[in-house]
Structure 1
Amino acid sequence: MSKPLPAHVRTYLVGGAVRDDLLGLPAGDRDFVVVGASTQDMLAAGFRQVGRDFPVFLHPETGEEHALARTERKAGRGHAGFVVHADPAVTLEEDLRRRDFTLNAIARADDGALVDPFDGVRDLQDRVLRHVGPAFVEDPLRVLRAARFMARFAPLGFRIAPETLALMRAMAADGELAELVPERVWQELARALRSPTPAAFLRSLRDADALRVVLPEVDALYGVPQRAEYHPEIDTGVHAELVCDMAARLAPGDDLVGYAALCHDLGKALTPAGELPRHVMHEQRGVAAVIALGERLKVPAEHRDLAVLACREHLNVHRLDELRPATVHDLLARCDGFRKPARIGQFATVCEADKRGRAGLSDASYPQGDRLRRLHAAALAVRGDAIAARGLSGPAFGAALRDARIEAIAAAD
């Protein structure tokens, strides 16, 4: 039978829930830190332990996470090289001191009072992302977290404190970013792509000289010129930023579209210098780079596949008006649009982000996107059972189905 926690135990709301409430943002998951309790106290009160590396418990009624106050000590390289110490004697301030940024090191007591030993409230008001203390350098994942927070908070006017950016540069130079496991890099990248301004993620990593380590294929785009009549922004890296932000605008919270947008022009970094600023065949050149990036970060297959087709086929959608019905059909087939119909809408959105992700063109129309969707819908409406009813099967059935779909595309055009 469970019993209440001892009277001397104190529970505080911490982290993102406090931060976002102070910023007036919608509430997300709530996390709590428990000061003065032991594992036995938590279990006796009915909490269910779920943490293995350190004691984390689920509340018996709300299911919300409650972690015992703890300290961390660096014991090895990489983001996981820590020894965790959880003990009833660990104070709230000691627990907050191990956190990454001052805006995440604010606690709220049951009576609503804030505990803010590192001036996180002031940094929130000043729109500054600042590290808590020198232990920041012990976890290389914090470089990516800083960039990811900027992808979310840049629209609110946030900037990285100069001293924090200096530490991020030192961490990149030290080589610890190479110790990050691919899954954690992908997790931070995907969260950045779901944010309002993914470009701030790229810029922050580049400012810290970390983009070349984390996303070298993207970093290589910076400084590569494009033809000004098509790309007024000229720099291909700047174009990648604009496209990522446009994708976030067209498909908010969609990291699948966002990742394909990020990857669509990787081939431009591989254009021979003598051919610049033209980028003939950059679509074909980029496919290998997209595949290599996906394999290194272990991205989901769905993300990899959409990124590859966006890289390879985006110019075909831009010139859709020039394509014959048979060519449109074959484009849809190459995109696997008949087996996976949702993919065509996603692909069209990536192409629109590419076209509008250029200096001065953010509000330009992109009729090719709607046209591709309309022609795809017409081809999808062709019923295979009507063709089978004619007694066709095997290759003959496939040829007749293709012909019927081409006819439907022509009629819908």
Structure 2
Amino acid sequence: MVTANGGINQQRVAVCNAVAVARLLNATLVLPKFMYSSVWKDASQFGDIYQEEHFINYLKDDIPIVKELPEELRSLDLEAIGSVVMDTDVIKEAKPSFYLKYILPILHLNKVVHFVGFGNRLASDPMPHELQRLRCRCNFHALRFVPKIQETGAMLIRRMRQNDTGLGHLDPYLVGQYAQLKKKGEKDSPPKKSRYLALHLRFEIDMVAHSLCEFGGGEEERHELEAYRKVHFPALVEQKKTKKLPSPKQLRSEGLCPLMPEETVLMLAALGFNRRTHIYLAGSHIYGGYSRLNALTTLFPNLVTKENLLTPAEIEPFGNFSSQLAALDFIVCTAADVFAMTDSGSQFSSLIAGYRIYYGGGKMPTIRPNKRRLADIFERNNTIEWKVFETRVRKAVRQNKRVFSRPVGRSVYRYPRCQDCMCNTE
């Protein structure tokens, strides 16, 4: 059994890792459950986001999956018999040998083991070929969004494409039966070329506060972020008291600060995007609110969010479910003609980038900026000529554009280009 924590991205990784661990232990997997988080405040369970029957049937030749714990095991007090394994009990990036040595004996003794938390608790390497391939198949094939999410995701994609009749490269994998070239009754016509850029601006208050950077808000900003840290990152507050941490200026020069909306505008403009560009902005809780987005919306008036594109009645079923709303963002960002991220460490952006590599056939560009290089360029933006600035930004982004195989020790969800995942092997 697995109860995954975090938001939809952490849960997705946890599910794929759980499938691999069940195979490793030769165990039956109970359909994963999702832990309620005080941060995400979403009570959604697996079946509210992913198609249960498809998940079970797709993986049936790999592992047996049941919806509930067998009746003879339900009366057990799992905590009392030592069958509950907390996130803190499993080392990060644990190797298969860890599970065989410490978890398998619990399973043999008690017939059941329950992982509470889980997340990033299975190593990327070294990993047996069949396990690596299995979690790759789980991520890219077994996890399919429920029709409610697919239908609304397809609606968002159509509206971003100005209701054109063209079928996007990834649409069938993302929205299934709702990926249609034309509606019933419509005449055949050449598809229009209406394109859009999707942007994941990782500038929420949790990211901003945890970075320990400064963003031009002066004393008021410092007090606000420190108050947030005391509630959500108490360990970081204690660390600040006992250790000499890098200054905000040092952090920025090292590329360790989130890109501000103002910096993102400069980057996109230098790359050639202009006022006519249609932009879908993922997420909506930008630190500083919509006033902080003024720089973006002024230069890019065609910037929208799902809240702009959907009517109140259309978005209402998703209103209290942040993970389901994130699933809509996942669909629209993954299907975009170009996807731009501002933080390459973001799990949301990483999963999208990996999905675009896996299904994109090399035709789905992703902008992944080198923040350290950009920070150096931005420091001189008061005196630098625009043409020079443009050239340097394009060079900094181009350096991260290269296609390469999965580096050793890196996630197959983010880097699926490897023999275990994308290559046909005997």
TM-score by length of 2: 0.23
Bigger Rg, which one: 1
